[in-house]
């Protein structure tokens, strides 16, 4: 071991952040499924020995913000002092700190000289986790129909994760594409190993005492800056209401109500009055609700350089009534939890826009359009399962137009290239992928445009399922801006028959049948009459005019 050298906090901060970015690169490069490798639906972090995030890479906000919640609840159920370097923890239980079953957390303890000093943490969206349908159980009414539920418990990696390991085989035997799921979990193990290696190198260079001090100092530093940023928001109570479509479950528009209280250097958010939980897959576990609140508040602060760690969460408190759609009772189905979570994000942003007009923004389409397309080859018994996450238009703001064709802010998944999907899978082709002109709301600054993606089955018996929102009511504009366009799902059969689908659906396609996935646009900002002539001309040239 080299002689430790003192290092200022800025150097240590850069080292921790570099560590997590390397974790993210390793996880993506080692991943098997397109949703992790191409869409980048994962998150990574380094925590201290109490489960508090010290540093994280720029990945999926709602996943990363939930890492502390998941790990800290896990540590309430086990004794951390009993963990060894050979142990690991898996967790996906939405009622024990998780979010939904597809997002599997992997926590690897990091020991130095026999002492636990932290955890390497990764979570990734797995393309299949069992359940009633491949990739996505759109019709689920309880969590048991959605897939394999993993309670937190330590296991020996050397004993339980090898080719004959019990934990590995429990998972492999309960999913349809074991090579993809196990491969992506192996990528999570690889990323965690990177964290362990780099943290040991930091200890060698800076010493154990200085490294542990820096973990605490960074959280305290982030908390101070976060509190200082909150004090620049006028104190007061601000409210907002958003709605989501409850028609697939025989309901009308479901309300998400937020009361945001700014009190000095603290913010509390109360969702009393929001809709009750639903007998459907659209309930939002409390961890996802908290994560969406944290992300929204951070987006509204003027200080853009605050390190994102557990210190940022300390000034925030969240209340959602138990049994509501934002804090459901078990065994509620939760697969589509990002729909209400996105409305949580929207309500907090809209409420704080009243307090901070300079940060105001029109509402984006902000809907996770999730689409699964799968096929079972009966002769071989092998499945192909693809999970797509498609974005829409973002809301405009006072300075510029909304972004086109992007996943919503708390999800942040990337585009999965057509070429990559068609190279890996042979049960469909993508015959159209385009921006939907005129889908962004009009205004001084227009809302972002949505997209159209059309898939054609190349096999009989191709299963498709999906969920979205804003198929009836578009995203609201701001300051007299127009609402964005709505989304839609539709199937065109090979004989020409067309079926318009609800925003939650499951169907079967045969050769030549096509399914069209359309996402909506963001709301406009300001009166349309005030749009600059050169911007109108640019819209016309780009095909973005209505």
| pLDDT band with cut points at 50, 70 and 90 for residue 236 | very high
Report the alpha-carbon angle 247-287-175, nearest 5. 75
| pLDDT band with cut points at 50, 70 and 90 for residue 49 | very high
Per-residue model confidence (pLDDT) at position 282? 96
| pLDDT band with cut points at 50, 70 and 90 for residue 274 | very high
Q: Tell me which residue of 409, 388, 378, 368 sits closest to 520, measured CA to CA.
A: 368
Q: Tell me which residue of 339, 393, 338, 390 sits closest to 363, measured CA to CA.
A: 393
Domain assignment present for residue 485? The answer is yes
What integer is the mean pLDDT of 112-139? Answer: 95
Rounded CA separation 54/45 (Å): 7
Domain assignment present for residue 301? The answer is no
Q: Are 17 and 223 in contact (CB under 8 A)?
A: no
Please identify which residue in the block is written with the tokens 């498609």. Answer: 390
297 to each of 69, 285, 427, how far by Cα in Å? 17, 19, 42
Rounded CA separation 466/395 (Å): 24
For residue 31 the two structure tokens come to: 């991943």
Q: Among 169, 194, 224, give the residue marking a domain's end.
A: 224
Highest mean pLDDT among 37-41, 67-71, 96-100, 486-490: 486-490
SS3 of the chain: helix, strand, coil, percent, to 5: 30, 25, 40
Domain assignment present for residue 343? The answer is no
Per-residue model confidence (pLDDT) at position 66? 84
Per-residue model confidence (pLDDT) at position 5? 65
Q: Are 282 and 325 in contact (CB under 8 A)?
A: yes
For residue 373 the two structure tokens come to: 């397309």
Tell me, what DSSP letter sits at residue 162?
S
For residue 75 the two structure tokens come to: 């540590």
Backbone φ/ψ region at 375: left (φ over 0), alpha (ψ -120 to 50), beta = beta
Phi, psi of 161 (to 5 degrees): -115, 0
Domain assignment present for residue 249? The answer is no
Q: Are 345 and 296 in contact (CB under 8 A)?
A: yes
**Global pTM?**
0.95
Residue 457: its H or E element: strand 450-457
Domain assignment present for residue 259? The answer is no
What integer is the mean pLDDT of 174-191? Answer: 98
Rounded CA separation 368/393 (Å): 12
Please identify which residue in the block is written with the tokens 């929204």. Answer: 296
Rounded CA separation 478/524 (Å): 6
Which residues on neighbouring strands pair with residue 290, listed in sequence order?
Answer: none
Per-residue pLDDT for 138 more than 80?
Answer: yes
pLDDT tens-place string over residues 412-425 = 888 889 999 999 99
Residues 6+ apart with CB under 8 A from 66: 97, 98, 99, 123, 287, 288, 290, 291
Q: Among 224, 255, 288, give the residue marking a domain's end.
A: 224
Residues 6+ apart with CB under 8 A from 305: none
Per-residue model confidence (pLDDT) at position 61? 85
Q: Tell me which residue of 428, 401, 420 sits closest to 522, measured CA to CA.
A: 401
User: What DSSP line would sit under 35-71, residue for residue?
Assistant: HHHTS--EEEEEEETTS-EEEE-SS-HHHHHTHHHHH
Rounded CA separation 230/223 (Å): 10
Q: In what order do the strands lie in the sheet with 450-457?
A: 428-436, 450-457, 514-518, 488-492, 498-501
Count of domains forming the chain: 2
List the domain range (segments joined by +) for residue 98: 6-224
Q: Tell me which residue of 147, 139, 220, 193 sits closest to 465, measured CA to CA.
A: 139
Distance of CA 8 to the CA centre of its chain: 34
pLDDT tens-place string over residues 439-459 = 999 999 999 999 999 999 999
Domain assignment present for residue 327? The answer is no
Tell me, what DSSP letter sits at residue 386?
E
Q: Among 180, 198, 224, give the residue marking a domain's end.
A: 224
Rounded CA separation 271/256 (Å): 7
Domain assignment present for residue 418? The answer is yes
Domain assignment present for residue 525? The answer is yes
Report the alpha-carbon angle 26-390-394, nearest 5. 105
Give the other-Cβ count within 10 Å of 8's Cβ: 8
Rounded CA separation 275/402 (Å): 29
């Amino acid at each position: 071991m080299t002689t430790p050298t003192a290092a200022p906090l800025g150097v240590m901060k850069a080292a921790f952040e570099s560590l997590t970015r390397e974790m993210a690169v390793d996880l993506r490069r080692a991943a098997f499924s397109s949703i992790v490798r191409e869409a980048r639906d994962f998150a990574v972090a380094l925590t201290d020995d109490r489960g508090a995030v010290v540093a994280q890479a720029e990945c999926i906000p709602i996943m990363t913000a939930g890492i502390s919640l998941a790990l800290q609840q896990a540590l309430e159920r086990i004794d951390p002092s009993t963990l060894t370097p050979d142990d690991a923890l898996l967790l996906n239980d939405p009622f024990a700190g998780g979010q939904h079953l597809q997002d599997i957390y992997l926590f690897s303890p990091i020991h130095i000289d026999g002492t636990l000093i932290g955890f390497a943490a990764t979570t990734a969206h797995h393309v299949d986790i069992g359940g009633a349908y491949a990739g996505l159980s759109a019709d689920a009414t309880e969590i048991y129909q959605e897939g394999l539920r993993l309670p937190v418990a330590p296991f020996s990696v050397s004993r339980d994760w090898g080719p004959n390991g019990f934990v590995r085989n429990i998972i492999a035997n309960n999913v349809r594409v074991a090579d993809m799921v196990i491969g992506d979990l192996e990528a999570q193990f690889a990323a965690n190993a990177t964290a362990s290696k780099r943290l040991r190198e930091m200890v060698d260079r800076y010493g154990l005492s200085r490294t542990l001090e820096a973990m605490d100092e960074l959280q305290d530093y982030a908390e101070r800056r976060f509190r200082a940023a909150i004090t620049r928001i006028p104190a007061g109570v601000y409210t907002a209401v958003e709605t989501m479509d409850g028609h697939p479950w025989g309901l009308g528009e479901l309300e998400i109500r937020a009361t945001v209280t700014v009190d000095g250097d603290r913010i509390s958010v109360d969702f009393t009055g929001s809709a009750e939980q639903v007998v459907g897959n659209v309930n939002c576990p409390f961890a996802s609700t908290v994560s969406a609140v944290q992300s929204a508040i951070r987006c509204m602060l003027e200080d853009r350089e605050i390190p994102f760690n557990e210190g940022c969460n300390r000034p925030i408190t969240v209340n959602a009534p138990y049994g509501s759609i934002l804090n459901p009772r078990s065994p509620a189905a939760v697969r589509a939890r990002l729909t209400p979570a996105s409305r949580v994000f929207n309500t907090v942003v809209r409420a704080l826009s009243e307090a901070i007009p300079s940060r105001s923004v029109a509402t984006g389409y902000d809907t996770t359009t999730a689409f699964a397309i799968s096929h079972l080859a009966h002769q071989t018994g092998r499945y192909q399962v693809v999970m797509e996450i498609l974005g829409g238009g973002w809301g405009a703001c006072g300075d510029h137009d909304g972004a086109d064709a992007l996943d919503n802010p708390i999800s942040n998944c990337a585009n999965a290239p057509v070429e990559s999907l068609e190279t890996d899978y042979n049960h469909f082709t993508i015959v159209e992928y385009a921006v939907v002109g005129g889908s962004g709301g009009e205004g001084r600054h227009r809302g972002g445009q949505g997209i159209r993606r059309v898939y054609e089955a190349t096999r009989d018996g191709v299963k498709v399922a999906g969920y979205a929102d804003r198929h009836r009511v578009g995203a609201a504009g701001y300051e007299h801006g127009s609402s964005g366009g709505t989304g839609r799902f539709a199937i065109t059969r090979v004989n020409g028959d067309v079926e318009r689908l609800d925003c939650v659906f499951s169907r079967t396609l045969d050769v030549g049948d096509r399914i069209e996935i359309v996402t909506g646009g963001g709301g406009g900002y300001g009166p349309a009459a005030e749009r600059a002539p050169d911007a109108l001309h640019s819209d016309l040239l780009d095909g973005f005019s209505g």
